[in-house]
């Protein structure tokens, strides 16, 4: 079944603790936390202190997505703040293998994210060391962008390579996920979708999450 990870980037920042609890109570499988440094991407969001502040509001998996230039410097900070999984960008600075090692050493599950312009093949050398691959379906930095369907070819390529290595590696997508696009994602092999405004601004977040999962299941039936 498709898993849904509401992105706190779309939450009411004045009520982040309550928003975190609301998403957990609405059936979120993960809480997605977009960390941006205003350098690697042209936006600035929040850091480890905010994540630590909202951690007591739920025990749902904290999926921390680092859109920062030097992720290795801050891995321990995010782990201490309560991250369960830490995703870093392949395009960021530092040796990816070393970043993965540091994430595992800190007690978190490592994942690599790929920008739309980065070929799938660049992540292949690291698949055996990862807990997940995140394929960005928009340019990272701002919410509310339009889903790029061409990124489903990248999802299929990552999935095929992982399966050829005997790996059941989840592929996540982030950007433009809604009732119209989630079916295409499910058919491509995506197993985790980050969702933003469509969940947070829905009259009923629980219903919005259920509808996304139902749309994914309807699109590919038992294959999902």
Long-range contacts of 179-183 (CB under 8 A, 24+ apart): 179/211, 179/212, 179/215, 181/147, 181/149, 182/2, 182/212, 182/215, 182/216, 182/219, 183/215, 183/216, 183/218, 183/219, 183/220
**How many domains does one find in the chain?**
1
- The DSSP code sequence of 40-102 is SSS-B---HHHHHHHGGG--SEEEEEEE-S-GGGGHHHHHHHT-SEEEEETTSSS-HHHHHHH
Query: Is the separation of the CB atoms in 210 and 176 below 8 Å?
Result: no
Strand, helix or coil for residue 223:
helix
Q: Give the domain range for residue 140.
A: 3-223
Q: How far is CA 133 from the centre of its chain?
A: 9
Looking up residue 169, the CATH number of its domain turns out to be 3.20.20.70
Q: What is the pLDDT of residues 78-111, one digit of tens each?
A: 999 999 999 999 999 999 999 999 999 999 999 9
Task: For residue 92, give both structure tokens.
Answer: 């960021």
Which long-range contacts link 19-26 to residues 24+ away (Cβ below 8 Å)? 19/200, 20/54, 20/57, 20/58, 21/57, 21/58, 22/205, 23/58, 23/60, 23/199, 23/200, 23/205, 24/57, 24/58, 24/60, 25/206, 26/199, 26/205, 26/206, 26/208, 26/209
User: To the nearest whole number, what is the mean pLDDT of the chain?
Assistant: 95
> Cβ of 179: how many Cβ atoms within 10 Å?
13
**pLDDT of 146:** 85
Please report the pLDDT score of residue 63 as a whole number: 98
Of residues 39 and 142, more confidently modeled? 39
Work out the pLDDT band at 62, boundaries 50, 70, 90: very high
**Among 29, 34, 37, 63, which one carries the catalytic annotation?**
34
Predicted structure pTM score: 0.95
Active site residue 174: yes
- Select which of 29, 37, 63, 174 is catalytic: 174
Within 8 A by CB and 6+ apart from 96, the residues are: 88, 90, 112, 126
Query: To the nearest whole percent, how much of the chain has pLDDT over 90?
Result: 93
Task: Read off φ and ψ for residue 138, nearest 5 degrees.
Answer: -145, 170
**Under 8 Å CB-to-CB from 148, ≥6 apart: which residues?**
116, 137, 138, 175, 176
Answer yes or no: 77 catalytic.
no
- Residue 224 binned pLDDT confidence (cut-offs 50, 70, 90): low
pLDDT tens per residue, range 38-48: 999 999 999 99
Q: Which two tokens stand for residue 177?
A: 């996920």
């Amino acid at each position: 079944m498709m898993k849904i990870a509401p992105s706190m980037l779309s939450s009411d920042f004045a009520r982040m603790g309550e928003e975190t609890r609301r998403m957990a109570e609405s059936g979120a499988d993960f809480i997605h936390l977009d960390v941006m440094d205003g350098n690697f991407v042209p936006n600035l969001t929040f850091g480890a202190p905010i994540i630590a502040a909202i951690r007591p509001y739920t025990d749902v998996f904290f999926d921390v997505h680092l859109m920062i230039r030097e992720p290795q410097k801050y891995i321990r900070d995010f782990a201490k703040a309560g991250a369960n999984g830490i995703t870093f960008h392949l395009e960021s600075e530092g040796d990816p293998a070393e970043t993965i090692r540091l994430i595992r050493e800190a007690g978190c599950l490592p994942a690599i994210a790929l920008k739309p312009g980065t070929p799938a093949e660049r992540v292949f050398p690291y698949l055996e060391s990862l807990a997940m691959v995140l394929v960005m379906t928009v340019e990272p930095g701002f919410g509310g962008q339009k889903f790029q369907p061409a990124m489903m070819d990248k999802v299929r390529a990552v999935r095929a390579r992982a399966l050829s290595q005997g790996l059941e590696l989840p592929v996540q997508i982030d950007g433009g996920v809604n009732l119209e696009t989630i079916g295409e994602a499910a058919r491509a092999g995506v197993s985790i979708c980050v969702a933003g405004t469509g969940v947070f601004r829905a009259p009923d977040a629980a219903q919005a999450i259920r509808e996304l999962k139902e749309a994914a299941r309807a699109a590919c039936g038992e294959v999902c």
